[in-house]
Amino acid sequence: MFNDSIRPRRLRTSDGLRRMVRETRLSPESLIWPIFVQEGEGIYEEIPSLPGQYHYSPDQLYRMVEQAHMHGVSRVILFGLPKNKDEIGSGAWAEDGIVQQGIRKIKELAPEMYVITDVCMCEYTSHGHCGILCGDYVDNDQTIARIAQIAVSHAKAGADMVAPSDMMDGRVAAIRQALDEAGFVNVPIMSYAAKYASSFYGPFRDAAGSAPAFGDRRSYQMDWHNSREAMRECALDVQEGADILMIKPAMSYLDLVYQCKQRFELPVAAYAVSGEYAMIKAAAKAGLIDEYGVMCESAVSIFRAGADILITYYACELADAIRKGDIG
């Protein structure tokens, strides 16, 4: 029987009331903007597969800084596009590597900007895989030694946080030990704890020039059928000293975001990856959806699932939406 004294709609009767009783709150401080830094000069080019996102040479990063300031975004994660690649990805840990150049330039332009770096080798290896090859197989232990070396080189260049995305076993422990021994005990690690071998990465691989030259990455990135394995990966990263756990991708993996939040006490990040962004852009361009509304709704769904941090190509637009009160 309907109890007419219980009417949940009472709390939906006005915009002010709906905002007051919102269960999920967002803040611009919880957003991280991915940035592609390309070796060279005078490069400021829109990425065809990621409309609205750009390749920046270090001398053009002032454009990104100005845009970030304009929208109130103060956290970025850097990905590098080197001129030259080799079998072992040596440009990844070079003192004058492209990410290292990008860090120094951003800190010169905006010392207060929080700079996170993606720590991996796929953009730097001639074969496009995320580590050192032994035949056609990525050698885990040789790779984590290099991954740790890359993380230290980023910290020396001024990175505030490092984020290993290679999915090698034991890489968090190796990075933590290397950072501590180099004197960077206060540089946190945001681990790509559960990174799936996803088809949603296509636009990123185009943007970063990081598609594998042969095979795929399923021997190290996770099988997207598995959830218990993801929680095991998260638990191992907690034991090894991770400070933040990341789930990647985001929207098709909200169950993993929720489980991670429930099981672990560390902050949880989610990466709304290139394919998620590109699909919204393409559907909006075709006139099939309201881009702004879908952008807002998809972001809120990720936070509602339990994310504390969102890495998103929509960081600037979402920060504006939060200030307007459309979300947050």
| 301-310: pLDDT as tens digits | 999 999 999 9
Annotated catalytic residue 248: yes
Range of the domain at 35: 27-324
- The pLDDT assigned to 49 comes to 94
Is pLDDT at 314 greater than 70 in this prediction? Answer: yes
Number of domains forming the structure of the chain? 1
Within a domain: residue 19?
no
CATH classification of the domain holding 62: 3.20.20.70
Tokens (6 digits) for 314: 């929509």
- Identify the burial level of 43 via C-beta atoms within 10 angstroms of its C-beta, where 0-12 means exposed, 13-18 middle and 19 or more buried: middle
- The pLDDT assigned to 149 comes to 97
Within a domain: residue 1?
no
Active-site choice (85, 105, 248, 261)? 248
DSSP helix/strand/coil, 101 = helix
Within a domain: residue 262?
yes
Confidence class of residue 124 from pLDDT cuts 50, 70 and 90?
very high
Within a domain: residue 170?
yes
Whole-number average pLDDT of the chain: 94
Cβ neighbours, 10 Å, residue 250: 26
Tokens (6 digits) for 193: 């704890």
- Report d(CA 142, CA 308) in Å as an integer: 33
| 158-205: pLDDT as tens digits | 999 999 999 999 999 999 999 999 999 999 999 999 999 999 998 987
| 276-295: pLDDT as tens digits | 999 999 999 999 999 999 99
Q: Which residue has the higher pLDDT, 42 or 86?
A: 42
Active-site choice (195, 281, 285, 324)? 195
Annotated catalytic residue 195: yes
Tokens (6 digits) for 86: 């080799």
- The pLDDT assigned to 213 comes to 66
Confidence class of residue 320 from pLDDT cuts 50, 70 and 90?
very high
Within a domain: residue 165?
yes
- Report d(CA 260, CA 295) in Å as an integer: 23
Within a domain: residue 77?
yes
Within a domain: residue 167?
yes
Q: 237 near 191, Cβ under 8 Å?
A: yes
Within a domain: residue 194?
yes
Confidence class of residue 1 from pLDDT cuts 50, 70 and 90?
low
